[in-house]
Amino acid sequence: MELNRRTVIAGAAAGVAATTGGTAHASGGGGRGAGAGGGKPVRTLFGTLADGTKVHSWSLANGGTRLKVLSYGGIVQSLEIPDRRGRHANVSLGFDTIEEYVASSPYFGALIGRYGNRIAEGRFTLDGTAHQLSVNDGANSLHGGAQGFDKRVWDVEPFAEGSDVGLRLSYVSADGEMGYPGTLRTKVTYTLTRHGDWRVDYAATTDRATVVNLTSHVYWNLAGESSGSVDDHELAIAAHRYTPVDSGLIPTGELARVGGTPFDFRSAKPVGRDLRVAHQQVLYGQGFDHNWVLDKGVTARPGHAATLRDPSSGRTLRIATTEPGLQFHSGNFLDGTLVGTGGRVYRQGDGLCLESQHFPDAPNQPSFPSTVLRPGQTYRTTTVHSFGA
């Protein structure tokens, strides 16, 4: 039986040892049609973990989009797309070495699970049984705990089928891992289509009732990952409401209207326009780090969620998803201590995240769409990233 995720209140209201490998940086030549031929993905050794486990990098291209993915954390190490003049650049923040990912990554490009976002005090009760999770964000559990899916080595199977190329990633999370009940068998498919879209399909099954909320944590900078601030990027989010948070960034349970607040992205506006408005929610997040309640709710097929555009390059990103929520994180905690693939330091606001998801702390918020998965059910969600210039 396939789990049908619930509609959101009638739509909207209602991440050690020697390393090899690196990443490609900005390069010229070829527009959206260039590199359209999608040969089978190519594997190279990226590095070795402290326990001797090898980490590989997979390179694939199709429809003008070039993608590099690591077996460690399912990390998108680079994603290159052309600008209006056909010049490619890597638009995903990341590192050149496995050591950096292990030691200090703020989830750059990673697959997130078992539960994307926060769970209050790392606790929830399901079917009368209390579960204590790994706590790694103050008093709360964030992105699956201290050793979430972002820090696991995934099995990777490449494919080239018809006009599509991609990777099938799989990981089995043992019963009790990071405190979560049930053995969770997870499969995530990365597909590059002939149009250059990057599609992510998530699936999972369990042998015991549990909660699941999978997502991807790419930090986007459409001008190029080493180009500096994204404050001038124009963002539109198809949402009339968002979920306000407390000082620990846990939702209060309210679905608040965005109108008249810095959270109103119903029409495209520069990301930085309201970042310095003295609004309590902006202060709590040190910028934007909130969940938007998508107008479309939960859908069987990916529906429009957001559009991001860089005026300087003309590059655009359009996100469609089956999920009911979108976490917009404005790179608030990039603090000048990390050096990216372009050899430059990442500072606050040098990238942003748009994470499709169910809502934060949903296991403790009965009014939020359910994230419960039971034996015999299959968790399925899809998010599509479409690029243009």
Cα distance from N-terminal residue to C-terminal residue, the chain: 41
Residue 373's identity, in one-letter code, is: L
DSSP H helices, the chain, are: 98-104, 280-285
Residue 233's identity, in one-letter code, is: H
Residue 287: C-alpha distances to residues 148, 302, 361 (Å): 25, 28, 20
Angle at 190 between CA 349 and CA 236, to 5 degrees: 40
Tokens representing 206 are: 């369990």
**CB of 201 closer than 8 Å to CB of 380:** yes
Place of tokens 């009911």: 324
- Catalytic residues, by residue number, are 217, 355
Distance of CA 197 to the CA centre of its chain: 15
Which runs of E-coded beta strand occur in 37-126?
Answer: 42-48, 54-62, 65-70, 76-82, 88-90, 110-112, 118-119, 123-126
Say how many CA atoms lie within 13 Å of 130 toward its Cβ.
4
